[in-house]
């Protein structure tokens, strides 16, 4: 029987992966140590994780560490119990991180000579999702044989998280990418395949002079989580972002801007050159800019310039975009009814098809946090409440509503 013990960290951040079972394969790369944190991030969201390791992987991390990290004994050697079948039948998705060049080539060519490749082949055979996280030197990544194997794996339906290419290496990506891929494939699959989204994120900066600007505390996390979740659910994503505090995913087309007008112009340009199924305006552009700016530092004792309104991005986009338009309403509301009233008013005034309203008043403000609580409002008056949870989970729920509208 599988051991389903969970360590103390289970559900520490969220429980939206409760009931989800994940096989986590680790192979013989120096990056194997990174798998520990990735597995525990999944457990912190409520998942049960079963480690599987190659003999080479155990040169870098031990059997005991894997059991400590997950609460489950690792599958690391062949036996008569057909553990790969037991694991595969019980689990929802398999992650292989890091996946070496040797591992990718073996799976592509059906070689089942270690617990990780054997389990991966069984998962593919029974139609369950497999995610591979390549990690190797750039020369190996670019080798024609490995690229041929990667093409085969993609054709088989394996989700490969594109590696971060830096310093001559195909590097292990941030944990957020591995978690997002596992969440998406375990809970939703590739339900957004064939769709194309334009998403905005973060604040804008309206400069007074070279050292001072008008802005807000938006981090950009919400928009980035929307982009990441949509990508792993199969959508093609363009992300236009202001000065965010978190790095946008390296595998998504991302365009950096500073001002509200720059954000507007980039949105209009992308809409003109390509057809999007939905535009999701998760950014928090400044409502005001300085009427006059200075190329040198503005005197501290001088009268500040007058503030003027910035362009209303949503209204300008609606003039040229007839598809699904999703907006956000960050309001200071006295209560939920007040939040819904303000959100509904903005929904109508800005001609949105969906608006996501959240309360930024008080200590529970989502600005700068990885958590949020929202009400999703539609023109017919229907409401979807999403209680306080990680923004990655809220992104998934928002995209569920987007998918529902697009499929009508």
HEC assignment per residue over 239-272: EEECCCCCCCCCCCEEEECCCHHHHHHHHHHHHH
Does residue 264 sit in the same domain as residue 173?
no
Q: Is residue 9 situated within a structural domain?
A: no
Does residue 48 sit in the same domain as residue 93?
yes
Question: CATH number for the domain including 316?
Answer: 3.40.50.10300
Q: Is residue 380 situated within a structural domain?
A: yes
Q: Where among 135, 162, 187 does a domain terminate? A: 187
Q: Which helix (H) or strand (E) holds 153?
A: helix 144-156
Q: Which one, of 40, 112, 44, 115, lies nearest residue 74 by Cα?
A: 115
Does residue 182 sit in the same domain as residue 287?
no
> Which pLDDT score is estimated for 1?
42
Does residue 177 sit in the same domain as residue 238?
no
Does residue 389 sit in the same domain as residue 276?
yes
Q: Which one, of 108, 111, 86, lies nearest residue 23 by Cα?
A: 86
Does residue 321 sit in the same domain as residue 264?
yes
SS3 353: coil
Cis amide prior to 98 (ω within 30 degrees): yes
Q: Is residue 25 situated within a structural domain?
A: yes
Q: What is the β-pairing status of strands 324-331 and 236-241?
A: unpaired
**HSE (CB half, 13 Å, CA atoms) of 67?**
9
* Structural domain range at position 253: 196-406
Give the chain's residues under pLDDT 50: 1
Question: CATH number for the domain including 83?
Answer: 3.40.50.1950
Does residue 27 sit in the same domain as residue 94?
yes
Q: Is residue 318 situated within a structural domain?
A: yes
Does residue 124 sit in the same domain as residue 239?
no
Query: Residue 178 corresponds to which tokens in the numbers above?
Result: 């591995």
Does residue 271 sit in the same domain as residue 363?
yes
SS3 42: helix
Q: Is residue 120 situated within a structural domain?
A: yes
Q: Is residue 3 situated within a structural domain?
A: no
Q: Which helix (H) or strand (E) holds 23?
A: strand 21-26
Query: Residue 75 corresponds to which tokens in the numbers above?
Result: 């599958």
Q: Is residue 264 situated within a structural domain?
A: yes
- DSSP lists the bridge partners of residue 325 as 279
Does residue 207 sit in the same domain as residue 180?
no
Contact 372, 330 (CB under 8 A): no
Residues ≥6 apart with Cβ < 8 Å to 333: 339, 342, 359, 361
This prediction has a pTM of 0.95
Does residue 268 sit in the same domain as residue 236?
yes
Does residue 152 sit in the same domain as residue 204?
no
Residues ≥6 apart with Cβ < 8 Å to 216: 203, 284, 286, 367
Q: Where among 132, 158, 187 does a domain terminate? A: 187
Q: How many domains does the chain have?
A: 2
Q: Where among 187, 216, 242 does a domain terminate? A: 187
Q: Is residue 4 situated within a structural domain?
A: no
């Amino acid at each position: 029987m599988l051991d389903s013990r969970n360590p103390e960290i289970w559900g520490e951040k969220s429980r939206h992966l409760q009931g989800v079972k994940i096989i986590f394969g680790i192979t013989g790369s120096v990056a194997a140590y990174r798998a520990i944190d990735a597995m525990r991030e999944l457990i912190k969201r409520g998942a049960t994780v079963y480690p599987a390791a190659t003999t080479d992987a155990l040169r870098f991390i031990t059997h005991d560490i894997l059991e400590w990290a997950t609460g489950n004994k690792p599958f690391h050697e062949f036996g008569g119990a057909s553990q790969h079948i037991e694991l595969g039948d019980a689990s929802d998705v398999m992650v292989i991180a890091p996946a070496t060049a040797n591992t990718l080539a073996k799976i592509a060519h059906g070689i089942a000579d270690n617990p990780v490749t054997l389990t991966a082949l069984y998962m593919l055979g029974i139609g369950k999702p497999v995610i591979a996280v390549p990690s190797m030197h750039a020369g190996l990544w670019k080798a024609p044989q490995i690229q041929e194997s990667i093409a085969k794996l993609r054709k088989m339906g394996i989700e490969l998280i594109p590696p971060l290419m830096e310093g001559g290496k195909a590097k292990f990506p941030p944990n957020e990418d591995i978690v997002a891929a596992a969440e998406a494939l375990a809970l939703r699959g590739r339900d957004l395949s064939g769709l194309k989204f334009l998403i905005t994120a973060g604040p804008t900066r309206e400069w007074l002079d070279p050292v001072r600007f008008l802005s807000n505390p938006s981090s950009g996390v919400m928009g980035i989580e929307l982009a990441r979740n949509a990508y792993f659910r199969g959508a093609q994503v363009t992300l236009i972002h202001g000065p965010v505090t978190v790095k946008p995913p390296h595998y998504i087309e991302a365009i950096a801007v500073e001002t509200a007008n720059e954000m507007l112009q980039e949105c209009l340009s992308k809409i003109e050159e390509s057809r999007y199924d939905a535009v999701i305006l998760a950014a928090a552009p400044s409502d005001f800019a300085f009427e006059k700016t200075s190329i040198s530092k503005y005197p501290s004792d001088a009268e500040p310039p007058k503030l003027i309104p910035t362009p209303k991005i949503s209204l300008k986009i609606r003039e040229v975009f007839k598809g699904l338009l999703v907006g956000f309403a960050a309001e200071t509301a006295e209560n939920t009814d007040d939040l819904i009233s303000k959100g509904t008013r903005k929904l109508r005034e800005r001609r949105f098809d969906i608006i996501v309203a959240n309360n930024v008043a008080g200590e529970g403000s989502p600005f700068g946090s990885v958590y949020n609580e929202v009400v999703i409002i539609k023109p017919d008056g229907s409401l979807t409440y999403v209680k306080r949870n990680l923004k990655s989970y809220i992104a998934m729920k928002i995209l569920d509503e987007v998918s529902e509208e697009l499929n009508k």
